[in-house]
Structure 1
């Protein structure tokens, strides 16, 4: 169409259309530019993801090492618990013979007792080599609920709440209690009744 025949209105419309097209193209270019990621921000995000992945790998490695260590340390738990009865029986057998009887025993009995004592020591040594240690508190020691089991409470010279007597030794494997020591807890010194006599009829008035 010849521009000579165009009216002013037509020319204005064409100019407006060209302006609108230019504005639309500019806006589209700006949108495209804004959608492109910032290289610095993208590098920062990738670095953060890498650090997180490395931290997770390190935590997984530590967990695996801890599990392997625990498995090795506590693998003999069941077997060790079964061996405690053997250790208890050996100990009871030795305790059942008084020192007087030992001194008066013949050579055969002395040899037998020495064999039992050696067997007990060897058993405890073997258990300890595998991480199992004997727990045998002394009278007067503080009661540890994690390692000791109070079976009774009696008047004793030890402070109230302290261990008065050990009925059965305990054992631990690693940091865990394999069997709590059976103990008797002190209720404190006996209070003498009125009249000046303590329990057992002993006169303490003098």
Structure 2
């Protein structure tokens, strides 16, 4: 250590060129030379902290953590999809129940429509000039048929069954069934010129289309 300091002092002396400085502070020069040597050593050493390698247990724990996170993500995604499917199924089931309540009577309504048609034909077939006080039996029968027809239409309306009589309206294939197309004077082409049988709608859904004749261009 002493010989090393002596060499360092001599080098410093040769650089500084002042023997007075050497005599005045040899210990200071030795200390400076030692610090310079330590600085060179520190520069030669790689800077930064060396990376500590993980132990096998830590590596296994990290891998297991990654796997658990992936499983959690997958399970969460499946859970959200299952919730969405369940909600869609619930809405479809609710819609089916509501439709069943509204349209469950459509078979019964179709059968009653035939009765309504017969009553309508019966009232139309009676000559109006014959319905007089002088013919009380026919008059009473006719008035009874008319009252029955009116009451039946009220019951139909109460349960969502509405009559369709599209005379003069624009032809609609969703509500009307065209029996023929013919040029009709005074009728715009594409409109209903004649109604042979009225139609009915149940809560906005066509239960029976009206049978019509459609006017066309000559």
Compute the TM-score of the two structures, normalised by the length of structure 2.
0.66
Structure 1 residue matching 2:188: 3-state secondary structure: coil
Residues 105/185 of structure 1: CA separation in 2 closer, same or farther (3 Å cut): farther
Size of the aligned set, in residue pairs, is 165
* Alpha-carbon distance between aligned partners in 1 of 2:81 and 2:97, rounded to the nearest angstrom: 24
In structure 1, runs of 5+ residues without a counterpart are: 1-22, 191-206
Q: Does 1:107 align with 2:136?
A: yes
Aligned to 1:88: 117
- The CA RMSD measured in Å over matched residues stands at 2.6
Which of the residues 187, 194, 216 maps onto 1:158?
187
* Residues 72 and 119 (structure 1), Cα distance of their counterparts in 2 relative to 1, 3 Å cut: same
Match among 136, 142, 154 for residue 170 of structure 2? 142
- 1:93-148 per-position Cα deviation (integer Å, ceiling 9, x unaligned): 11112332335762222221111011111112222222221111122x11000110
Aligned to 1:126: 155
In structure 2, relative to structure 1, the CA distance for the partners of 1:153 and 1:101 (3 Å cut) is: farther
**Bigger Rg, structure 1 or 2:** 2
The structure with the largest helix share of the pair is: 2
Give the aligned partner of residue 50 of structure 2: none
Mapped partners of 1:175, 1:27: distance in 2 = 73
The whole-number CA distance in structure 2 between the counterparts of 1:72 and 1:53 is: 29
Deviations 1:165-190 (A, max 9, x none): 111100121232211101011023x5
Which TM-score applies when normalising by structure 1? 0.69
Match of 1:173 in 2: 202
Shift of 1:48: 4.1
In structure 2, distance between residues paired with 1:184 and 1:103: 35
Shift of 1:37: 3.5
Unmatched 5+ stretches in structure 2? 1-52
